[in-house]
Amino acid sequence: MKTYLDCIPCFFRQALQAARLAEADEDTQRQILVMLGRQLADFSLDSTPPEMGQILYSLVKNQVGQDPFKEIKEKSNRYALDLYPELKNRVKNSSKPLRVAVRLAIAGNVIDYGVPRRFELKEEIEEVLSSEYGIFQFKELIQSLNRVEKVLYLADNAGEIVFDRILIEELLREFKPELTVAVRGAPVINDATLTDARQVGLDKLCRVVSNGSDAPGTLLNHCSPEFLNMYQTADLVISKGQGNFESLWGEKKNIFFLFKIKCDVVARHIGGREGDIVLLHD
Amino acid sequence: MKTYLDCIPCFFRQALQAARLAEADEDTQRQILVMLGRQLADFSLDSTPPEMGQILYSLVKNQVGQDPFKEIKEKSNRYALDLYPELKNRVKNSSKPLRVAVRLAIAGNVIDYGVPRRFELKEEIEEVLSSEYGIFQFKELIQSLNRVEKVLYLADNAGEIVFDRILIEELLREFKPELTVAVRGAPVINDATLTDARQVGLDKLCRVVSNGSDAPGTLLNHCSPEFLNMYQTADLVISKGQGNFESLWGEKKNIFFLFKIKCDVVARHIGGREGDIVLLHD
């Protein structure tokens, strides 16, 4: 997906939010916005939004120091792990466990910035489990899963990967694919890396690889050869989160996108509404 | 009021909105955002938001040509004039005509960008007339009006000045002050200028002056000596709109601010909520 002009004010909003979460002082916050302003001229609208995301989070990292979101991510993981037994039970006790697991995995995508509050996440889970979906191509996903062998699962955020774990456990149980989870190659915002995958035990379930890039999405031309090989040979890609959607939408590949629409630009792009929960086949 | 870091993403949003309303093509819209980005480094947070507003609207004007909002303003005025007889009747038939006129003047502040839609404005009027106010220092305003002679009324937007006219007619009828209305010295967004004041017949009621500045607010250090003299000798200033509030809040002067809170930054600054209707004494 290309960058829309409406994304530009949002880049500044995100940079400010990231700088604050990283506990930059006010002068540093301002400096980050000023530097972002200077870089605008060099940024092409043909790039995808996560490319600017990569630039703006590297500005924050350079100003504040390595991985300012480390603690936030650890907390998100721990917090989601506390919920794991309860969520796992819901899936087990359901007559449609896979459908519930898919919905839970999308519910987990609400964990975006910062540590989610317990009641907010609980509310979100109930809403996602009970609500109508704007776009929910569940049947197509099942059909595809029945046909394929190699599945590549692109994770999104820390915390959220506990919800992914539940879906991955269901996928392995029902379809027994050769499943690999890819995470970011280096810390960017609260996106999951190998450290997070290990913290929530994903590495005990299946192969977990780094994509070799520190973009808050999957920019194929930035990813490692190892990851690219895996991407190219995968029969089916399950892509979590809006960042992965923004960078991969339009690629010639069998991809299912699972995410919550977090802005009006993406909503208009796919004909949905902000806040919609989507399971969308490219 | 100083500029908050949260205002910066909003400057980009406003610049884009203004460029689109001015019917700039997409390349020009992008160019305006890029130029704004370059200017960020030179902009002090000790300045008030309308100072950046002045910069960003001059960027739009320079790229698109003089007064890109001329037609929008004429339409807004005509449209509000169509409502005038009905609104005037509501004031006349009320047991509290001044209170209704004040509320209507604040309701008119909803006319911000572009031509308002008939049903939206009608809805807004009903809402403002019937709703509770967050901050509504009406008694203090009446007490002050009873004591003073010279009143300076700072207008805000085209269209809205028809609503101001109704309030001004009530003020003249009830208190007979020496009342002057000040408008912007040159076109900026849809802010009212002398042309608009004449179009809605304000000049038939009282003295109307230009403030000598093209900022979307009242930046005293940019205003003409004639206006400043009027400001200094006024016993009471009635200030319409958030732009005038942002530039004059904190001044040592007897000012009543009438506006609708249009952003969270101002809401937090005065302890209100976004969307609140306020009549606030400095």
Give B53-91 pLDDT, tens digit per residue. Answer: 999 999 999 998 878 889 889 999 999 999 999 999 999
Confidence grade of residue A128 (pLDDT, cut at 50, 70, 90): confident
Residue in chain B lying closest to A7 (CA): B13
pLDDT per residue as tens digits for the range B124-175: 888 888 877 678 999 999 999 999 999 999 999 999 999 999 999 999 999 9
- CA angle centred on B216, ends B211 and B220, rounded to 5°: 45
Q: Is the ipTM of this complex over 0.90?
A: no
Of the candidates A178, A186, A182, A174, the residue with the CA atom closest to the CA atom of residue A213: A186
CA–CA gap between residue A267 and residue A209 (Å, rounded): 30
Distances (CA, A) of A175 to A94, A281, B226, B250: 18, 19, 81, 67
pLDDT at residue B48, rounded to an integer = 94
Residue B277's pLDDT is 87
Q: For residue range A17-63, what is the model confidence (pLDDT) as tens digits?
A: 999 988 999 999 999 999 999 999 999 999 999 999 999 999 999 99
Find the CB nearest B37 among A6, A10, A40: A40
- A41 CB neighbours in chain B (<8 A) are 34, 37-38
> A11 vs chain B: nearest CA distance in angstroms?
8
pLDDT at B116: 58
Query: Could A16 and B8 be called an inter-chain contact, meaning their C-beta atoms sit closer than 8 Å?
Result: yes
| Per-residue model confidence as pLDDT tens digits over B169-210 | 999 999 999 999 999 999 998 999 999 999 999 999 999 999
Q: Is B196 exposed, middle or buried (0-12, 13-18, 19+ CB in 10 A)?
A: buried
Mean pLDDT of A158-186: 97
Strand segments, DSSP code E, in chain A are: 135-136, 150-154, 178-183, 207-210, 236-240, 255-260, 277-281
Give me the CATH code for the A70-281 domain, please: 3.40.50.10880
**Nearest CB neighbour to A34, from listed B9, B33, B40:** B40
Q: What is the pLDDT of residue A281?
A: 96
- The pTM assigned to this predicted structure is 0.88
With cut-offs at 50, 70 and 90, classify the pLDDT of residue A185: very high
Query: Residue B114: is its pLDDT beyond 80?
Result: no
Contact B247, B218 (CB under 8 A): yes
**Shortest Cα distance, chain B CAs vs residue A8, angstroms:** 7
**Total H helices, total E strands in chain A:** 12, 7
pLDDT digits (tens, 9 = 90+) for A226-268: 999 999 999 999 999 999 999 999 999 999 999 989 899 999 9
Distance CA B44, CA B52 (A): 9
Q: Is the dihedral of CA A48, A51, A53, A59 positive or negative?
A: negative
Which of the four pLDDT bands, split at 50, 70 and 90, describes residue B120? Answer: confident
**If you measure CA to CA, which chain B residue comes closest to A8?**
B12
